[in-house]
Amino acid sequence: MPDTLLFAMEATLNGLTAGVMYALVALGFVLIFKASGIFNFAQGVMALFAALTLVGFQSGQIPFSHLINAMFGTRLHHFGWNMPTLLAIPATVLVMILLAVLVERFILKHLVNQEPIILFMATIGLAYFLEGVGDIMWGAEVKALDVGLPKGMSGAVDDVTFAWFGYGFYIDRLEIWAAGIAALLVAALTVFSQYTKQGRALRAVADDHQAALSVGISLRFIWVLTWSIAGIVALVAGIMWGSKSGVQFSLSLIALKALPVLILGGFTSIPGAIIGGLIIGVGEKLFDFFMSPIIGGATENWFAYMLALVFLLFRPQGLFGERIIERV
């Protein structure tokens, strides 16, 4: 088999796993957009905040210790124990649910029936607020996150591909795990939204707020529910990206990578978010592989956005976005 083909295959596989990571972030956007028509600018920061909180819990950091030290001249920083990961994750989930309750109480409740752009602006405010709170609460230094997921080259993939092609592919084990977890997450979300009463209510709210109110669905409860789920998805994304590249401010910028994914997959489709992510991941890697020698590299930075632009021109609702139903 020619080398080029083998390299292209490796790039494709790497692209698929990278795409899953993008899709994880995009999922959170889709959930909130579907249920409330809000483009949640804070989704990336939520992932950062979730990861920070998780690391903080794991390492037994005292929240707001810098603030407390500055105010009272104390020298607090750690409780002196480590929380096991299996306990720290549920604790972080609780924090994300609490965040959802607060967002509903202090932001959404007061903006019922406002233009989507106003809600969007509110989420920009939320993003900056949360970023600041995250900083004050847990400190601004780069932290390593380890939840016990395996890292490094996958020996199995290397062995198998070497046996087949005489060339071992390099795939990160973390990304294989990420793919598995994303699949589980999507399956769980699909079952929830298609087959449960609350899931149906969630889709009903997405379609028509007024009608949902008229049948007795509490919008406030549904919003808390949606933001909680989005918070949990943000936590999963935060864990994956945090394990990969450390927990630091730049984690919140992964939200930017989710934008082209959303434009491709459609803002309203969960499968769209996944497939959009995969297309961007693979497209990015393959384009880089074939075009870099010609145009001089660094295409990964802009390829996704260019692809998104093309989509905006020819298929603005995305690949899987809900068709705007218009009966004649």
Bridge partners, residue 83, by sequence? none
Minimal distance in Å, beta carbon 269 to other proteins?
A: 11
Minimal distance in Å, beta carbon 155 to other proteins?
A: 46
Helix ranges, the chain (H): 3-36, 43-58, 65-72, 85-106, 116-138, 155-165, 173-195, 197-207, 209-214, 219-245, 254-265, 270-295, 303-314
**How many Cβ atoms from other residues are within 10 Å of residue 213's Cβ?**
13
Half-sphere exposure of 326 (CA within 13 A, CB side): 2
**How many Cβ atoms from other residues are within 10 Å of residue 290's Cβ?**
14
Residue 328 interacts with other proteins (CB under 8 A)?
no
- 114 contacts 95 by C-beta, under 8 angstroms: no
- Residue range at the interface with other proteins (CB under 8 A); choices 164-172, 174-182, 201-209, 227-235: 201-209
Q: Which of 68, 209, 271, 305 binds other proteins (CB under 8 A)?
A: 209
Minimal distance in Å, beta carbon 189 to other proteins?
A: 16
Residues 180-199 that bind other proteins (CB under 8 A): 197
- 232 contacts 31 by C-beta, under 8 angstroms: no
Residue 203 interacts with other proteins (CB under 8 A)?
yes
And the tokens for 53? 């909180």
Output 231 or 265, the one with its CB closest to other proteins.
265
Number of residues near other proteins (by CB under 8 A)? 24
Q: Which of 8, 93, 147, 204 binds other proteins (CB under 8 A)?
A: 204
Output 72 or 195, the one with its CB closest to other proteins.
195
Q: Which of 173, 200, 245, 248 binds other proteins (CB under 8 A)?
A: 200
Output 119 or 232, the one with its CB closest to other proteins.
119
Coil/strand/helix, residue 146: coil
Q: Which of 215, 295, 313, 328 binds other proteins (CB under 8 A)?
A: 215
Residues 111-130 that bind other proteins (CB under 8 A): 112-113
d(CA 96, CA 235): 8
d(CA 103, CA 109): 9
Q: How far is CA 175 from CA 172, 178, 254, in A?
A: 5, 5, 16
Residue 211 interacts with other proteins (CB under 8 A)?
yes
Residue 68 interacts with other proteins (CB under 8 A)?
no
Residue 175 contacts by C-beta under 8 Å, 6 or more apart in sequence? 14, 17, 18, 20, 21, 244
Output 83 or 119, the one with its CB closest to other proteins.
119
Q: Which of 4, 82, 190, 218 binds other proteins (CB under 8 A)?
A: 218
Minimal distance in Å, beta carbon 116 to other proteins?
A: 16
Contacts to other proteins by CB under 8 A: 112-113, 197, 200-201, 203-204, 206-219, 322, 325, 327
